[in-house]
Amino acid sequence: MKYVERPAVYIDKDIDISDERVNRLKEEVEITGNIYAEERLSASFLEYAGEEEWDHFWTKVFTLRRMREVMGKGSKRELFDFQSDHKYLLMAYSPSIQKQLGRLLARGREVPFYELKEEYSQLLTKALETPPTRERHINACQHIAGHVKRQLSQEEKTLLENRLEQYGSGEISLHVVRRTLKEWADKYEDSYIQSQAYLKPHPFVEV
């Protein structure tokens, strides 16, 4: 996904900006000393955060950046497309808020854009506050796979079951499951799955 502007991330003063990990971040985000940046990166987080914590951190940063760019265009159609593209990401984060957002947009023709913008932004930000559980990730992956279940061979269905079980027990990362789903979306040319932000919510996901 392309961005008009890269997200801005504030880093603590005690972080060595020449750190190899920080240099990698500079490829995708704007490192700044502005405390009002979109997100803050602490030295302890940089040092000790695990893969799932990083995934949540970047998913939040880049999803909110995408939302702001959509809101800046003032187009209801673009907002509806954003909601569609983020269906399974929202399902993983907060199924209840996903439904609230769906109901909000269902009455979109009757509501001025500025009202939609305000309420949608608040709800999306709230949804992204808490990382998804593994159970919710598994549920989202199962729903995505449901789009191509008729095309999947028995071998592929068994592979998915095994991958989800391995992810649930911590044997493999979510990236492995996402990569499998992305491969099937391309193989079976399912444009809806290909458009899902859940499979690549930020540039640091390798699928």
Distance between CA 29 and CA 115 in Å, rounded? 30
Percent of the chain past pLDDT 90, that is, above it, reads 71
Q: For residue 41, what pLDDT is reported? A: 86
Q: Where is pLDDT greater, at 26 or 57?
A: 57
> Quick check: 181 and 144 in contact, CB under 8 A?
yes
Range of the structural domain that residue 35 is part of:
1-48
Q: Let me know whether 15 and 91 are in one domain.
A: no
Whether 108 and 62 share a structural domain: yes
Res. 207: pLDDT tops 70 = no
Q: How confident is the model at residue 76 (pLDDT cuts 50, 70, 90)?
A: very high
In this prediction, residue 1 has a pLDDT band, given cuts at 50, 70 and 90, of low
Q: Same domain for 205 and 167?
A: yes
Residues 32 and 97 in one domain: no
Average pLDDT, the chain: 92
Which pLDDT value is given to residue 77?
A: 94
Summarize pLDDT for 139-162 with one digit per residue, the tens: 999 999 999 999 999 999 999 999
CB 130 within 8 A of CB 179: no
Q: Are residues 78 and 154 in the same domain?
A: yes
pLDDT surpasses 70 at 46: yes
> What is the number of other CB atoms lying within 10 angstroms of the CB of residue 178?
24
Question: What pLDDT is stored for residue 35 in this prediction?
Answer: 81
Count up the domains in the chain and report the number. Answer: 2
Contact (CB, 8 A) for 137 and 89:
no
Whether residues 122 and 206 share a domain: the answer is yes
User: What integer is the mean pLDDT of 177-183?
Assistant: 97
Asked whether the beta carbons of 145 and 159 are under 8 A apart, the reply is no
**56 and 115 fall within a common domain:** yes
Residues 24 and 114 in one domain: no
113 plus 167 within the same structural domain = yes
Q: Final residue of a domain: which of 14, 29, 48? A: 48
pTM for the model stands at 0.91
More confident residue, 120 or 44: 120
- 164 or 28, which is more confident? 164
> Looking at the structure, do residues 112 and 142 belong to the same domain, yes or no?
yes
- 8, two tokens: 């801005």
Mean pLDDT computed over 91-117: 93
| 20 and 74 part of one domain | no
Whether 203 and 106 map to the same domain: the answer is: yes
